[in-house]
């Protein structure tokens, strides 16, 4: 590794009570989080020096841990302080910040998950975008994948998890068709989600987003709130692949990028290849909320990295 990789600006991690350059951070090979995907996590972003919905992300993280029968010796306020410190030490004004709880390392000779001591990892790194600047401006190319999403009866997607093989195969299928992202369907042909994002369809001025088989993303929640406050009808319900293809506008939502327009689905061009008016309106409102409001938490960079 080069010395520059150890620069705080490349990321800071918190492991076993210590802060360190992200490039030096590691996970034990026998941690069930690594060998069994036995973990949960959450991601919050910092934009222009402010966390967005930090408390909501930590609340959801704690709910995910309860769902997997995990616990940590840190309170919500202590987790917030750790995440804040990772960002402060990095000096990053725009950052992707992850908190992770793994099952931990099982005692030798047993597979009993109850005997593991759950472990906490956190890191801040430069902001991660699902879409590059051109794609955010002009729109993404998406496909409806032939890969079926893991059913929620098997793995509850409302608990953020590392079960990404179906989503990864969807990404590869998108690339095979000269697209960037893929949305997966359930066994009944209803749209679910893609790798790290939720999807919205717009038809006759009404938003619709899937209600089942999806991770209930924080950006998705924000869009639903924006719609309610702006008088835009928004329906949270089943959305068939056919309905998505018949939409006037399509956009995806993610902490890693906000609201991102889709201007081509399965090769069909939407809106003359330009983002739709309602998508742009919601996109502008979303980014305005990063500047002011009750969901913003300022990072105190005093004595941090330059």
Confidence at 306, pLDDT banded by 50, 70, 90: very low
pLDDT score, position 303: 75
Q: CA geometry: angle at 194 spanning 191 and 195, to 5°?
A: 165
Superfamily per CATH, domain 133-288: D-amino Acid Aminotransferase, subunit A, domain 2 (3.20.10.10)
Alpha carbon distances (Å) from 200 to 209, 237, 244, 245, 246: 5, 11, 8, 11, 12
pLDDT score, position 1: 60
Extents of the domains making up the chain? 3-126, 133-288
Q: What is the CATH number assigned to the segment(s) 3-126?
A: 3.30.470.10
Identify which has the larger pLDDT, 188 or 4: 188
State the pairing for strand pair 258-265/206-209.
unpaired
In our burial notation (b when 16+ CB lie closer than 10 A, e otherwise), range 236-262 reads: eebbebeebeebbbbbbbbbbbbbbbb
pLDDT above 90 for 291: no
If phi over 0 gives left and psi between -120 and 50 gives alpha, with beta otherwise, what is residue 51? beta
DSSP for residue 120: E
Asked whether 26 and 123 are in contact (CB, 8 A), the reply is no
Alpha carbon distances (Å) from 271 to 204, 208, 244, 276, 278: 13, 18, 14, 6, 11
pLDDT score, position 292: 81
Q: Tell me what the mean pLDDT of segment 264-275 comes to.
A: 93
Q: Tell me what the mean pLDDT of segment 169-192 comes to.
A: 97
Q: Tell me what the mean pLDDT of segment 204-213 comes to.
A: 97
d(CA 20, CA 13): 5
């Amino acid at each position: 590794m080069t010395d520059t990789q150890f620069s705080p600006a490349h990321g800071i991690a918190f492991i076993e009570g210590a802060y360190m350059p992200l490039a030096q951070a590691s996970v034990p090979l026998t941690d069930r989080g690594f060998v069994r995907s036995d973990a949960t996590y959450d991601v919050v972003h910092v934009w222009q020096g402010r966390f967005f919905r930090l408390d909501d992300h930590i609340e959801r993280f704690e709910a995910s841990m309860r769902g997997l029968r995990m616990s940590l010796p840190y309170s919500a306020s202590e987790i917030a302080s750790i995440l804040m410190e990772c960002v402060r030490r990095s000096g990053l004004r725009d950052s992707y910040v992850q908190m992770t709880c793994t099952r931990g390392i099982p005692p030798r000779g047993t597979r009993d998950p109850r005997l593991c001591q759950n472990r906490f990892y956190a890191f801040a790194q430069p902001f991660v975008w699902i879409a590059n600047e051109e794609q955010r401006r002009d729109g993404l190319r998406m496909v409806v994948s032939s890969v079926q999403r893991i059913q929620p009866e098997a793995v509850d997607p409302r608990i953020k998890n590392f079960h990404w093989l179906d989503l990864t195969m969807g990404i590869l299928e998108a690339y095979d068709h000269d697209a960037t992202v893929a949305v997966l369907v359930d066994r009944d042909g209803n749209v679910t989600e893609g790798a790290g994002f939720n999807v919205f369809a717009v038809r006759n001025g009404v938003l619709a987003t899937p209600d089942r088989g999806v991770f209930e993303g924080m950006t998705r929640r924000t869009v639903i709130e924006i719609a309610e406050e702006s008088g835009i009808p928004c329906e949270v319900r089943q959305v068939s692949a056919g309905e998505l293809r018949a939409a006037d506008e399509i956009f995806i939502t993610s902490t890693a990028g906000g609201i991102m327009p889709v201007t081509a689905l399965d090769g069909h061009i939407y809106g003359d290849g330009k983002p739709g008016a309602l998508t742009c309106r919601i996109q502008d409102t979303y980014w305005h909320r990063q500047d002011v409001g009750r969901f913003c938490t300022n990072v105190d960079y005093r004595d941090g990295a330059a």
